[in-house]
Chains A and B, each alone.
Chain A
Amino acid sequence: MKANRMIWILLLPAAVLASGCSSIGVKPWQHDLLAREDMRLTNDSLDTAIDDHLYFSKEASSGGRSFAGGGCGCN
């Protein structure tokens, strides 16, 4: 049940994205805030890479944001 609920929580925004793409968004001259460094979806690739390697080595899940490597993680 919990898993299904989580899937719906994730899928609902996706459905909104898919159905409303043509009516949402901004004009090119309205990108001031969106163009800011801290508004990038991954705003610090080194931090992300270091964290992802830590979690990959200590947890059973990885990826989602981008491809997950198989890796060794033998420690």
Chain B
Amino acid sequence: MQLKPRVRRPAGPDMRRRLMAASCALLGASSARSQAVAGSGPAPNTWSIDTALAYYHEDGRIQAIEPVVNVLKDFGDGETVGLNLTFDALSGSSPNGALPSRSVQTFASPSGKNLTDPSKLYTTAPGQLPVDPHYHDQRLAGALNWQLPLTRVTQATLGGKMSYEHDFFSVSGNVSIAEDFNEKNTTLSLGVNDEYDTLHPIGGTPVAGSDYTLFEKTAGKTKNGAGVLLGVTQVMSRRWLSEFNLSADRFTGYLNDPYKIISIIDAAGNTTGYEYERRPDERTRKSAYLENRVGWDRASAGLSLRYMTDDWQIHSETAQLHLRWWIDSQDKYFEPSLRWYRQTAADFYSPWISAANQNSTAYASSDSRLGAFHALTFGLKYGEKLADQGNSAGGEFSARIEYYQQVTDGHFDAPGSLQGLDLVPGLKAILLQIGWRF
């Protein structure tokens, strides 16, 4: 972060102090990780600032612009306070959950109260995926993180986060403790997290499973979440660092997407109506995560694997590989990356409800994020170290690009006239980002 890596330079006391500060910069994260490598010497009284501006664009759907800033104050002796601020501005077209049709479909925007007010309506052409073309949202999020040493080998981390949107507010807090063993080659950490969210959807909260045309809406809703994370970080060798985490969390309350509906389809493939989606009001997730870092004189590699499962019967596997090559005396680098992801569908996921089974459906959602798909991300980052600035360790300029593609898995036996339509199209997106540390 605020370091200027020089591979052949031995890690002296000053370098270790800087690394200690840099290692604390994972704002809002909960586990005090990799103490084994960071060292524990007294730290200087320094500030470091990390900024980025990201632009995200989906093919035919959402686009977003996101400035982010991290500020880290190092008080010395391993104590740090970090602040993260993030702003998102999103706009574009968001899928409303309905299925494409051979006919023109008419929908009301979330603030609409009927299907007769033209100013609140939008239509979808035959064969097209229904999207709300007027989607826009802003998000302001902040995180505060306080990391403090309790003993020479024990470190505590207190963190809090908040996120505000005009229809959503979230606040959470976390506590972690980490203990070093084995000459600081091993670090065990344990953290707990608690979250409270409130939702006030535009136009009210739809009654789950209700007829879309009746516009049955109620007041705001809440959901609660709690999680635990147990981790071990191990220095395997001079070139190899490994981490393994087990985590679980549980959310209860309103877990629907209030803006998603699901089509009701008859045997001929005609859309006979729509319902608001209805998900269970609790969800428990468990995950295992393994990350390895291997370093060479002019390169390094990071490989992470994650397996997640939940009681909605979603299982997912994720593999991510980063490679970094230092060039030009280790002042510049290129970092290509590849991520592979696959998930199974939630047991209540269905692109549509059959009209014949309409009244027997307990839970139903056509949100494609709960469906079966796989995704690939290709990334490339370029970074260049900037000259030292006074007492700071020097900055860095970086730029990166990512391409994300989501491909729907599985086959759907579309009834009647829906055959031949792309009922659950995938997603293509690109991310551009520039960053500056100083």
Residues of chain A whose beta carbon lies under 8 Å from any beta carbon of chain B: 3, 6-7, 9-11, 13-14, 17-18, 21-22, 24-28, 30-51, 53-55, 58-61, 63-75
Contact = CB atoms under 8 A, between A and B. Distances in A.
Interface in B221-266: 223, 225, 227, 229, 232-239, 241-245, 247, 249, 251, 257-259
A42 B317 CA distance: 19
A40 B34 contact: yes
Given A17-B186, A26-B238, A58-B369, 15 more contacts: A3-B307, A10-B305, A25-B234, A31-B16, A31-B37, A33-B239, A39-B300, A45-B50, A59-B369, A67-B193, A68-B227, A69-B170, A69-B172, A72-B170, A74-B257
A69 B370 CA distance: 17
Contacts of A21: 181-182, 185-186, 234
B94 A75 contact: yes
Contacts of B244: 10, 13-14, 17
A17 B186 CA distance: 9
Q: What are the 10 tightest A-B residue pairs by CB atom distance, in nearest-first order?
A: A25-B185, A64-B289, A66-B29, A72-B168, A61-B316, A67-B193, A64-B306, A35-B11, A14-B244, A33-B295
A14 B369 contact: no
Interface of B: 1, 3, 5, 7, 10-11, 15-16, 19, 22-23, 25-31, 33-34, 36-37, 39, 50-52, 54, 56, 62, 66, 68, 70, 84, 86, 88, 90, 94, 135, 137, 161, 163, 165, 167-168, 170, 172, 174, 181-186, 191, 193, 195, 197, 199, 201, 223, 225, 227, 229, 232-239, 241-245, 247, 249, 251, 257-259, 285, 287-293, 295-297, 300, 302, 304-310, 312, 314-318, 324, 333, 341, 343, 346, 369-370, 375, 381, 398, 400, 402, 404, 406, 427, 429, 431, 433, 435
A60 B369 contact: yes
Contacts, number: 267
A35 B375 contact: no
A17 B291 CA distance: 12
Nearest to A6: B307
Contact of B300 (A38, A51, A60): A38
Contact of B165 (A10, A45, A46, A72): A72
Nearest to B314: A60
